[in-house]
Chains A and B, each alone.
Chain A
Amino acid sequence: MKDWGYKIIAARQIDLDSNDLSMADYISRHEISFKWCIGCGSCSATCTAAQFTDFNPRKVNLLIQRGETDGLKNEISKCMMCGKCQIICPKGVNTRNIIHHIKRALSNVGSF
């Protein structure tokens, strides 16, 4: 194929009607501040685990809100729960409790 110097990204849409939003529901039920996130990315910038991996709390939050939870377990397992993201968050989101509840939901599959 001819290299044009650019490529076309496959069309992609987020279908909130068909995506599974049960994780987002479960977390916002248990941690109200889940919805306060403005996506500024401070958490990802300060994250301890992100120094070693591509772990990104902001992305995790966004993907859960969209219902795209494939591979979530892999991602969330990298978190060290150190709490820097929570201290730094300008909106006062309880990031540690969100991650705690994601883990809880993942370890009790089917019951949340």
Chain B
Amino acid sequence: MSAHFNLFVIPFCAGITILPLLLLWRYVKWFRQLTGEDHEKIRNKLLSIASLKAFKEVFMECLIHRRIFKVNPLLGYMHMSLAFGWFLLIVVGKFETLYYTHDVANEIYYPVFFRFFEPSPHESMLLKFLNASMDFLLFFIFTGLMLAIAKRFYSRITGLKKITKHSTTDRLSLTTLWLIFPLRLLAESTTASYTGNGSFLTQPFGEFLATIIPAKQFSIVFWWMYSTVLGTFLLTIPFSRYMHIPTEIILIFLRNYGIRTGNHYSGFSEYELQSCSRCGICIDTCQMNGQKISGSAQMVYFLRDLRSNILTPELSENCMMCGKCNDICPVAIDLTQQRLIQRKNHSNNFPYNFSYLGDFNPEEPERTSPDIIYFAGCMSHLSPSIIHSMIKIFKAANLNYLFLDEKDSICCGRPLKLSGQFEAAKALMESNKNLIISSGAKTLVTSCPICYKTFKEDYDLGIRILHHSEFLAEIINKRKSAIKTEGLKIVYHDPCELGRGSGIYEQPRILLEKFSKLVPINQEKEKALCCGGSLGNLSIRVDEREKIQKATADVLNSPEADCIATSCPMCKKSIAQYSGKPVKDIAELVAANLETGKIIIKIKKQEDKVPEMIEF
């Protein structure tokens, strides 16, 4: 066995020994930073179906790169050929060596430099097949490598308009990665030229090389270079973007055990952060990039700066928090949550004092125990037609409701949270929570997706929380006689906080289809654009906002539609400025159609009784 040794294996061996130690040191550190609750989840689910699901996901995402295939097939192929091809090269290589040593635990470098140590040509069919497989896999990787190089010069071939600007460390690491396979080919080919142990790729290439260079003498040089480059790449992994290769595997397992990024930076956040491969897919999807507002605030740069500890508050505050990148990220990192946590680190110590709310009690209306609380939200107060419509509907349905923020409204707290002031937001939430719970109502209806998201996620109210689109979809029914009447043709705009933020895509559409015809557009549902009005971005200038508002209005301005509908007061305001068509909130459309009698309300009209359709 000791016959298999040559000095050139040392650089590789150094890399393969030091890398696991570095990784282990980090992973153990982060694992200990997971919360007790997270550890509990791992203990409970380690020996369950969750682990199998994680295995499958690791195969599909880390090797096949299914999510990147969805973005662009050629880009997916590029990643797959490099990852899956290399993986198979290692596995088949190891299998090949078993024939010679009959020992699984052979030297770690032996399969890597196999053709150097076993120069004799192969005789058995199996070995010939394995040998050809190895050449084929190398060729497979080469096709991906060619694409990767071409992508650097002309990214559009892989469907990307803009690619990541890499740091020096990443460039070094990338160069070593790109050199690994050509050097392996050169080393194997030059060896094959005088030993004859190559296959369909390495053998002819080696013989060709032998005609122009003294291949036999050069071969050892190439083996040295191959080993050195491989060792260097392995050593740069923990300090470069390639840290994602081992880390994503752990991330997928943790995620399958139910661990998520919460409101605090934990060990899991660290795993997530280091799983970013800086593929740059988030750059093209970002409207801030599309409208040339900022080319450096995208999540890929945010996470990179965070990883190098040079993140500025300005960079983390320059984001609409629309969640488009969250949706497309091939590693499925909870990007907006990562950013929110950093905003919290920058701004949580800001002064606040809401003691003036301490003795606040809204004027008690005559009906003391409402069934439903209506919370319009600050933004709806700036679009009063939504409020008027909702009141009209409540009255038509004869519901026992209380308009909680009719006169003196307290903000829901999400705008403070979005700016990083979690503690201050909590204080506002407490005030609102007391008001809501003391009213005794069992259902809360809000007109603002920003409020809706925070009521659902942060309040822990223990009552039913509905956005008005859900509420209306439930109580409104089509009148039979109106079925044949031609409705309006409507384009629906998904608000970020309601769609990607809360997963409500269907209810507004179900509701609209009761009295109108929906016109499909290219960018809707998960792919919907941000209206540009977002409270998520603190620093964006008004003219930059206008660029986004205008571009989004253009997309929504389908020539087939009569009207643009949305379900967020902020979106309505943003789009209305630039669309040539009327922009209506779905509540306004419902109220208008109630008057014309096209639709009816589907609940029992019994005064002060709980309507049947609304489940408590």
Tell yes or no: A103 within 8 A of B by CB.
Answer: yes
Residue in B closest to A99 when the chains form the complex, CB atoms: B419
Tell yes or no: A28 within 8 A of B by CB.
Answer: no
Residue in A closest to B417 when the chains form the complex, CB atoms: A81
Q: Are A53 and B356 interface neighbours, CB within 8 A?
A: yes
Q: Are B415 and A83 interface neighbours, CB within 8 A?
A: yes
Besides A80-B410, A83-B379, 13 other A-B contacts (C-beta < 8 A): A30-B314, A51-B408, A74-B353, A77-B351, A78-B353, A81-B419, A81-B421, A82-B415, A87-B382, A87-B570, A92-B542, A93-B542, A107-B350
Q: Are A52 and B408 interface neighbours, CB within 8 A?
A: yes
> Which of chain A's residues have a CB closer than 8 A to the CB of B421?
81, 103
Chain B stretch 511-539: residues in CB contact (< 8 A) with chain A: 533, 535, 538-539
> Which of chain B's residues have a CB closer than 8 A to the CB of A79?
352
> Which of chain A's residues have a CB closer than 8 A to the CB of B317?
97, 100
Q: Are B347 and A52 interface neighbours, CB within 8 A?
A: no
Tell yes or no: B541 within 8 A of A by CB.
Answer: yes
> Which of chain A's residues have a CB closer than 8 A to the CB of B409?
48, 51
Q: Are B411 and A103 interface neighbours, CB within 8 A?
A: no
Please report the C-alpha to C-alpha distance between residue A103 and residue B416 in the assembled complex, in whole angstroms. Answer: 12
> Which of chain A's residues have a CB closer than 8 A to the CB of B353?
74, 77-78
Residue in A closest to B574 when the chains form the complex, CB atoms: A87
Q: Are A78 and B350 interface neighbours, CB within 8 A?
A: no
With A73-B351, A94-B538 in contact, is A80–B379 under 8 Å at CB?
no
Tell yes or no: B378 within 8 A of A by CB.
Answer: yes
Residue in B closest to A96 when the chains form the complex, CB atoms: B538
Q: Are A100 and B356 interface neighbours, CB within 8 A?
A: no
Residues in A lying within 8 Å of B, measured CB to CB:
30-33, 46, 48, 51-53, 73-74, 76-84, 87-88, 92-94, 96-97, 100, 103-104, 106-107
Q: Are B541 and A104 interface neighbours, CB within 8 A?
A: no
> Which of chain B's residues have a CB closer than 8 A to the CB of A32?
541
> Which of chain A's residues have a CB closer than 8 A to the CB of B354?
78, 80
Tell yes or no: B428 within 8 A of A by CB.
Answer: yes
Please report the C-alpha to C-alpha distance between residue A96 and residue B424 in the assembled complex, in whole angstroms. Answer: 15
- Distance (whole angstroms) from the CB of B526 to the closest CB of chain A: 25
- Distance (whole angstroms) from the CB of A88 to the closest CB of chain B: 7
> Which of chain B's residues have a CB closer than 8 A to the CB of A107?
349-351
User: Which of A31, A32, A51: most chain B Cβ within 10 A?
Assistant: A51
Q: Are B573 and A87 interface neighbours, CB within 8 A?
A: yes
Q: Are B542 and A33 interface neighbours, CB within 8 A?
A: yes
Please report the C-alpha to C-alpha distance between residue A106 and residue B542 in the assembled complex, in whole angstroms. Answer: 25
Q: Are B378 and A88 interface neighbours, CB within 8 A?
A: no
Q: Are A87 and B415 interface neighbours, CB within 8 A?
A: no
Please report the C-alpha to C-alpha distance between residue A96 and residue B535 in the assembled complex, in whole angstroms. Answer: 9
User: Which of A32, A51, A84, A87: most chain B Cβ within 10 A?
Assistant: A87
Residues in B lying within 8 Å of A, measured CB to CB:
313-314, 317, 346-347, 349-354, 356-357, 360, 378-379, 381-382, 407-411, 413, 415-416, 419, 421, 424, 428, 533, 535, 538-543, 570, 573
Partner of B379, one of A52, A74, A81, A84: A84
Please report the C-alpha to C-alpha distance between residue A32 and residue B346 in the assembled complex, in whole angstroms. Answer: 21
> Which of chain A's residues have a CB closer than 8 A to the CB of B542?
33, 92-94
Q: Are A87 and B533 interface neighbours, CB within 8 A?
A: yes
- Distance (whole angstroms) from the CB of B541 to the closest CB of chain A: 7
Please report the C-alpha to C-alpha distance between residue A64 and residue B606 in the assembled complex, in whole angstroms. Answer: 57
With A48-B409, A52-B408, A100-B347 in contact, is A82–B378 under 8 Å at CB?
yes
Please report the C-alpha to C-alpha distance between residue A72 and residue B451 in the assembled complex, in whole angstroms. Answer: 29
With A52-B357, A87-B382, A92-B542 in contact, is A77–B352 under 8 Å at CB?
yes
- Distance (whole angstroms) from the CB of B501 to the closest CB of chain A: 16
28 contacts between A and B (CB under 8 A): A30-B314, A30-B539, A31-B539, A32-B541, A48-B378, A51-B407, A51-B408, A52-B357, A76-B351, A77-B351, A78-B356, A80-B354, A80-B416, A81-B416, A81-B421, A82-B411, A82-B415, A83-B378, A83-B379, A83-B535, A84-B382, A87-B533, A94-B538, A94-B541, A96-B535, A103-B347, A104-B346, A104-B347
Q: Are B350 and A97 interface neighbours, CB within 8 A?
A: no
> Which of chain B's residues have a CB closer than 8 A to the CB of A82?
378, 411, 415
Q: Are A84 and B356 interface neighbours, CB within 8 A?
A: no
- Distance (whole angstroms) from the CB of A44 to the closest CB of chain B: 15
- Distance (whole angstroms) from the CB of A31 to the closest CB of chain B: 7
With A81-B421, A87-B382, A96-B419 in contact, is A48–B411 under 8 Å at CB?
yes
> Which of chain B's residues have a CB closer than 8 A to the CB of A81?
411, 415-416, 419, 421, 424
User: Which of A74, A80, A88: most chain B Cβ within 10 A?
Assistant: A80
Q: Are A103 and B379 interface neighbours, CB within 8 A?
A: no
> Which of chain A's residues have a CB closer than 8 A to the CB of B408?
51-52
Please report the C-alpha to C-alpha distance between residue A111 and residue B273 in the assembled complex, in whole angstroms. Answer: 30
Please report the C-alpha to C-alpha distance between residue A51 and residue B381 in the assembled complex, in whole angstroms. Answer: 13
Please report the C-alpha to C-alpha distance between residue A76 and residue B408 in the assembled complex, in whole angstroms. Answer: 19
Please report the C-alpha to C-alpha distance between residue A95 and residue B314 in the assembled complex, in whole angstroms. Answer: 16
Partner of A84, one of B349, B350, B352, B378: B378
Q: Are B350 and A104 interface neighbours, CB within 8 A?
A: yes
Q: Are B539 and A106 interface neighbours, CB within 8 A?
A: no
Residue in A closest to B416 when the chains form the complex, CB atoms: A81
Please report the C-alpha to C-alpha distance between residue A42 and residue B314 in the assembled complex, in whole angstroms. Answer: 27
> Which of chain A's residues have a CB closer than 8 A to the CB of B407?
51
Q: Are B428 and A80 interface neighbours, CB within 8 A?
A: yes
> Which of chain B's residues have a CB closer than 8 A to the CB of A92?
541-543
Residue in B closest to A79 when the chains form the complex, CB atoms: B352
Residue in B closest to A77 when the chains form the complex, CB atoms: B353
> Which of chain A's residues have a CB closer than 8 A to the CB of B357?
52
Partner of A80, one of B381, B382, B411: B411
Please report the C-alpha to C-alpha distance between residue A73 and residue B351 in the assembled complex, in whole angstroms. Answer: 7
Please report the C-alpha to C-alpha distance between residue A78 and residue B379 in the assembled complex, in whole angstroms. Answer: 19
> Which of chain A's residues have a CB closer than 8 A to the CB of B573?
87
> Which of chain B's residues have a CB closer than 8 A to the CB of A93?
542
Please report the C-alpha to C-alpha distance between residue A12 and residue B304 in the assembled complex, in whole angstroms. Answer: 53
Partner of B539, one of A46, A77, A84, A97: A97
